[in-house]
Structure 1
Amino acid sequence: MTVTIRAFAEADTEAVLALWREAFPEYNDASRPHRDPRRSIANKLGTQPELFFVAIRRDGEAGGALVGSAMAGYDGHRGWLYSVAVAPEARRLGLGTRLVRHAESALAAMGCLKLNLQVLTDKPEVLAFYDRLGYRADAVISLGKRLAVQESEALA
């Protein structure tokens, strides 16, 4: 499979949404407004859009199909990796690794020395994937807080 990784373009939106809804079933839960994938894309396009990557499978002259995504961010202190997804037909071919390495390289070029990511505890296969790439659990507890202002805006 020939795959190109490039920056997200707005024309990729519907294909990314379809990929994420398949890869992240929690995005289908309308009762969780913080998991709104369309809003995630819009927010990413407003903040470091150059760190939003898609993988395109090339099918001859006919263009290609979107088969992967990865979002990254860097705040000057540490980097973050989000929404790494690979279409089922493209899994186990090294594409997830390529997407992660691509994001790592982009962050390293910005001076990032530490990269974090979060994985839901009920996804052991995802934890195993990141373990194979050298990621280890840090001795920290991840805390979160839903901001009421943002949640009410999401429902408007």
Structure 2
Amino acid sequence: MSVTIRVFSEADTEAVIALWLQAFPEYNDTSRPHRNPRLSIANKLGTQPELFFVAIRNDGDVDGALVGTAMAGYDGHRGWLYSVAVAPEARRDGLGTRLVRHAENALATMGCLKLNLQVLTDKAEVLAFYERLGYRADAVVSLGKRLTVQESEALV
């Protein structure tokens, strides 16, 4: 399959959402507002949008179809990889690996020396994919806290 990996464009929004709803079933859970794909896209466009990548198929009858995504971030200390997704019809052809390597290269050019990612523990197939790419579990505990969005108060 021939694909081009490029930076996300706002015209890709609906195709990205459709892919994420398919690839990440947890995005369909409305009780988890932190899994809102529109909010994820808007937040990424506000912070390092140049590290939001899409894979576009450019062969055959589905020319121009969005078949993959990867988001990355870098805070000057560590890099992060998020939302790597590949459409079912494009899997097992190396596209996921290409997306990860593309993100790794973009981060490396920014001076990033360590890349982190998180995978839900019940996703054995995803964990195996990243292990094949050289990722290993770090001897750390990942902690998290959900924050509520605060309305800013006007200064009087």
Q: TM-score range by the shorter chain?
A: over 0.9
The Cα shift of 1:59 comes to: 3.0
Counterpart for residue 79 of structure 1: 79
Q: Tell me, in whole angstroms, the C-alpha distance in 2 between the residues paired with 1:2 and 1:143.
A: 39
* Percent identical residues: 85
Moved over 2 A (4+): 59-63
DSSP-derived class of the 1:149 partner: coil
Counterpart for residue 28 of structure 1: 28
Counterpart for residue 154 of structure 2: none
| TM-score (normalised: structure 1) | 0.94
Q: Tell me, in whole angstroms, the C-alpha distance in 2 between the residues paired with 1:89 and 1:54.
A: 16
Give the root-mean-square deviation of aligned CA atoms. Answer: 1.6
Counterpart for residue 68 of structure 2: 68
Counterpart for residue 139 of structure 1: 139
DSSP-derived class of the 1:64 partner: coil
Matched letter for residue 10 of structure 2: E
DSSP-derived class of the 1:68 partner: strand
Counterpart for residue 108 of structure 1: 108
Q: Tell me, in whole angstroms, the C-alpha distance in 2 between the residues paired with 1:62 and 1:123.
A: 29
Q: Given the superposition, is the C-alpha separation of residues 62 and 26 from structure 1 closer, same or farther in structure 2, using an over 3 Å criterion?
A: closer
Q: Tell me, in whole angstroms, the C-alpha distance in 2 between the residues paired with 1:85 and 1:129.
A: 12
DSSP-derived class of the 2:140 partner: coil
The alignment status of 1:117 with 2:128, answered yes or no, reads no
The Cα shift of 1:149 comes to: 2.4
Unpaired segments ≥5 residues, structure 1: none
Matched letter for residue 76 of structure 1: G
The number of residue pairs the alignment matches comes to 152
